[in-house]
Amino acid sequence: MADRRPLISGNWKMHHDHFEAIRTLQKLAYRLTNEDAELVDASVHPPFIDIRPLQIVIETDDLPIALGAQNCHWEDKGAFTGEVAPPMLAKMHVSYIICGHSERRELFGETDDDVNRKVKAILKHEMTPILCCGETLEEREAGEAEAKVERQVRAGLDKVKGDQVAGMVIAYEPIWAIGTGRTASSDDAQAMCGTVRRVVADAHGADAAAGVRVQYGGSVKPTNIKELMTMPDIDGALVGGASLDPDDFARIIQFRLQP
């Protein structure tokens, strides 16, 4: 792993009501140490209804865990029934917002242009985007994985300044590995995360490529996190199912301690 501070993010998707979310967060915080907080950044991304309760817990108990969201709209306000605006999330001290997750792209029809507008809106309100990219199994088997990821990264970062890119997070998540129990080999994950960094360097310069944090996501578990995190271009993980269990998620955040 490079010198960039690792970021381990838990995407809770459509799980946990606010009571369950509070219990999970408190159990997670209990399992983490001061050393963990010094060495690794951690964030949790609950459903929207859980954000305010978790904000209160994090700030009241001074927990070393950042608050994140799973999505947002790109407009500050408007007639967009069911959507949540970036400034609403900023008011609740959200630090990271996932944008362009494959489930949003594949199930809800988000386009590269939609994702780009969200990236710029998140940055406008001084939060950090976690820009997602990744290929399907069919695209990988057809040899189109790198081209797909390059297109998504270039489009997602279009007209974003290099110094802003340097502070961002890009999550490479092979769609075929999300929730399936299948994980890209550490070498394959490194190759694709290296592709992400190469594209950033080509489009936004060496400083942006050196600063951006690249996460791997896709069936990340306590048993495979350490090997993934030894790769030079993997700076963290976007964790799905395993982040719902505070014991497993704590062990993932403590990857340096795993056998």
Q: Which residues of 8-38 are buried (b: 16+ CB within 10 A; e: fewer)?
A: bbbbbbebbeeeebbebbeebbeebeeebee
SS in 3 state form for the chain?
A: CCCCCCEEEEECCCCCCHHHHHHHHHHHHHHCCHHHHHHCEEEEECCHHHHHHHHHHHHHHCCCCEEEECCCCCCCCCCCCCCCCHHHHHHCCCCEEEECCHHHHHHHCCCHHHHHHHHHHHHHCCCEEEEEECCCHHHHHCCCHHHHHHHHHHHHCCCCCHHHHHCCEEEECCHHHCCCCCCCCHHHHHHHHHHHHHHHHHHHCHHHHHHCEEEEECCCCCCCHHHHHCCCCCCEEEECHHHHCHHHHHHHHCHHHCC
Query: Catalytic site residue 173?
Result: yes
Rounded CA-CA distance 17/24 in Å is: 10
Catalytic residue among 16, 45, 73, 101: 101
Catalytic residue among 16, 45, 173, 204: 173
Query: Catalytic site residue 150?
Result: no
Which residues are catalytic, by number? 101, 173
